[in-house]
Structure 1
Amino acid sequence: MKFINFERHGKISFGAVRDDQVVDLGGKLGDDIRTVDDLVIHGLVSAARDICAGLEPDFPLDEIKLLKPILNPGKVICVGVNYANRNEEYKDGSAVKKYPSIFMRTPGSLVAHGENLVRPPESEQLDYEGEIVLVIGKGGRRIPESEAYNHIAGLTIMNEGSIRDWIRHAKFNVTQGKNFERSGSLGPWMVSADEVKDYTDLRVRTRVNGETRQDDTTASMMYPIAYLVNYISTFTELQPGDIIATGTPTGAGARFDPPIWLKPGDVVEVEVDGIGVLSNGIEDEVV
């Protein structure tokens, strides 16, 4: 089931999408459950799915504004260089590492589906990265790979937008270039984990102005999803509401010769089969 946070007539609520119609769940699971975040944190995703099955839709999807499916993630954990051939894209002669590259993003660096990504005045090198995102539903530390899927509440999509030259400002980190305000996006909704039949064969595609730039499946991951949950939970205790962006396929704008950066007026779509399409325009930051 597709769960959403949304705004309608100035009021924020949450619910589920069914056949382009919205079931408003506000107030139906208790006064303390006001967002999808609350559903996940309180372990009520299955209960919400069951309630929705017996309810008629309240209004059409096109009457609402979608918000980020997780409004305030506790941690935004990102995986770098995870698809086969991505390491070769860097053309630095380095071998594939035994362990994944991990970095963090701030919630303020991400906007919702339908909102514009913002190109800052400090750089023209705004780039796209289409990614599958895990929403943690059951916390844990040192989670075995065999149990990893049981800790996932659902999946969503990220355009893990990057300011490329700022990634290279320092020797050992990418934090600056990965955290410009409103440089990436998350959405359009969270699909509950029961909808995912095979985590090893999810297809992700990124299109810029209708042109396909990235196209691969999770079968190409060097560090599969179950391994990522195990590895990340080794050094940090995962909590319900944390999200993990699992890496992007080859084909980002930086890898073209010459590079192709995003500019105002462009539209980026990231599509994951079984989840949906995350779409965002581009605008310049007004300072």
Structure 2
Amino acid sequence: MKLLRFGPAGFERPGLLDDDGFIRDLGSVVSDIQASTLSRAGLDMLRSVVPSSLPRADDSVRLGPPVADVRHFIAVGLNYTDHAIETDTPIPDQPVIFSKAPSCIVGPHDDVQMPPACTTLDWEAEVAVVIGEHAFELAEEEALSAVAGYMICHDVSDRDSQIHRGGQWIKGKSSPSFGPLGPWLVTADEILDPQTLNLWLTVNGVVRQSGSTAKMIFPFTHLISYISKFMALEPGDVITTGTPHGVGLGMKPPVFLKPGDVVELGADGLGRQRQNVVLRQPRTVGV
């Protein structure tokens, strides 16, 4: 299944994409695509629904992030050898784990809002995994049993805040709109081997990234098992698994996003995203 959420930001409805590419409204079946929906039992129930029996949504409707109420947005850094090399960073011997604030999550086609003082806005195409079952101290051979599905993540990054402002990378990874997800969550049964997915990204039509999850340093099984040794993963948690080479920081000289740029990205079987980069307006006192 391809599960999604559609409608105005903050008022999304649950839906699914049928075999003909039409959006079907799941609002009469579940209240949202959230923790209870993503369990094995919840997904089995949704598979019993006949898509043609559901109301069809307008084709032009806005798509929101596919999962509601994400509590943990966990990210993996430097998980492709070629990306570590292009950023002059040692290849890690253990996964580099950091967080993105869930408040940065937006829909797959929403604008990327560039902070007014930012001059180092960068792109990162990634494949994210969504947890569907409680997972703590999992062995690698158990790891994929906890997965509800996969989706595209654009790990938008302010490199100056990430690298030069001290402390953790979360500073450069969490501004509002820095986490476009979707367009849909593809359930795990439709992805026969997540380690064979090609992913790509273009800026203004120019290919910047082209890679494959086959080249990940730490595969999905290892990442989920490893992270579950340090925290209990819960349904609805999102883990985005790193980006291949081709980021702006790695170019000689570096090239960064600016207002007016258009970023498109996609992955095999997971759909595609498109965002316009806009300058975020400074906040007014009291707003």
TM-score, normalised with respect to structure 1: 0.92
Q: CA separation in 1, counterparts of 2:205 and 2:23? A: 28
1:197 aligns with 2:198: no
CA contact (8 A) 1:23 1:52 kept: no
What is the CA-CA distance between 1:42 and the residue it aligns to? Answer: 7.7
Which of residues 120, 123, 137 is equivalent to 1:125?
A: 120
Q: CA separation in 2, counterparts of 1:196 and 1:174? A: 30
**Partner of residue 173, structure 1:** 168
**Where do 5+ consecutive residues of structure 1 fail to align?**
none
Q: CA separation in 1, counterparts of 2:176 and 2:12? A: 22
Runs of 4+ in 1 over 6 A off after TM superposition: none
The structure whose residues are more often strand, as a share, is 1
Which of residues 251, 264, 268 is equivalent to 1:273?
A: 268
**Partner of residue 81, structure 2:** 84
Q: CA separation in 2, counterparts of 1:155 and 1:265? A: 29
CA contact (8 A) 1:75 1:242 kept: yes
What is the CA-CA distance between 1:243 and the residue it aligns to? Answer: 0.5
CA contact (8 A) 1:148 1:226 kept: yes
1:115 aligns with 2:115: no
1:148 aligns with 2:143: yes
Q: CA separation in 2, counterparts of 1:182 and 1:60? A: 25
**Partner of residue 97, structure 1:** 92
CA contact (8 A) 1:21 1:58 kept: no
**Where do 5+ consecutive residues of structure 2 fail to align?**
283-287
Q: CA separation in 1, counterparts of 2:93 and 2:103? A: 31
CA contact (8 A) 2:101 2:170 kept: no
- Aligned to 2:269, the other structure's residue is in SS state coil
CA displacement 1:108-138 (0-9 Å, x = unmatched):
1121111100100121211110000000001
What is the CA-CA distance between 1:213 and the residue it aligns to? Answer: 0.8
Amino acid at match of 2:265: V
What is the CA-CA distance between 1:25 and the residue it aligns to? Answer: 1.1
**Partner of residue 22, structure 1:** 23
**Partner of residue 44, structure 2:** 46
What is the CA-CA distance between 1:230 and the residue it aligns to? Answer: 0.4
Q: CA separation in 2, counterparts of 1:209 and 1:109? A: 23
CA distance 1:41–1:149, shift in 2 (3 Å): closer
What is the CA-CA distance between 1:61 and the residue it aligns to? Answer: 5.2
- Aligned to 1:194, the other structure's residue is in SS state helix
Q: CA separation in 1, counterparts of 2:233 and 2:166? A: 28
Q: CA separation in 1, counterparts of 2:179 and 2:26? A: 28
CA displacement 1:182-217 (0-9 Å, x = unmatched):
223111110111110112111111111121111111
How many residue pairs get aligned? The number is 280
Q: CA separation in 2, counterparts of 1:102 and 1:47? A: 34
CA distance 1:259–1:59, shift in 2 (3 Å): same
Amino acid at match of 2:171: Q
- Aligned to 1:146, the other structure's residue is in SS state helix
CA displacement 1:202-239 (0-9 Å, x = unmatched):
11111111211111111101000000000000000010
Amino acid at match of 1:91: D
TM-score, normalised with respect to structure 2: 0.92
What is the CA-CA distance between 1:89 and the residue it aligns to? Answer: 1.3
Q: CA separation in 2, counterparts of 1:233 and 1:155? A: 18
Q: CA separation in 2, counterparts of 1:85 and 1:61? A: 42
Q: CA separation in 2, counterparts of 1:12 and 1:90? A: 38
CA displacement 1:27-61 (0-9 Å, x = unmatched):
22xxxx311114115841121122135x3452255
CA contact (8 A) 1:78 1:104 kept: yes
**Partner of residue 241, structure 2:** 246
Q: CA separation in 2, counterparts of 1:280 and 1:87? A: 26
Residues 58-67 or 70-79, more deviating: 58-67
Q: CA separation in 2, counterparts of 1:257 and 1:27? A: 53
1:35 aligns with 2:35: no
**Partner of residue 12, structure 2:** 12
Q: CA separation in 2, counterparts of 1:170 and 1:277? A: 32
**Partner of residue 233, structure 1:** 228
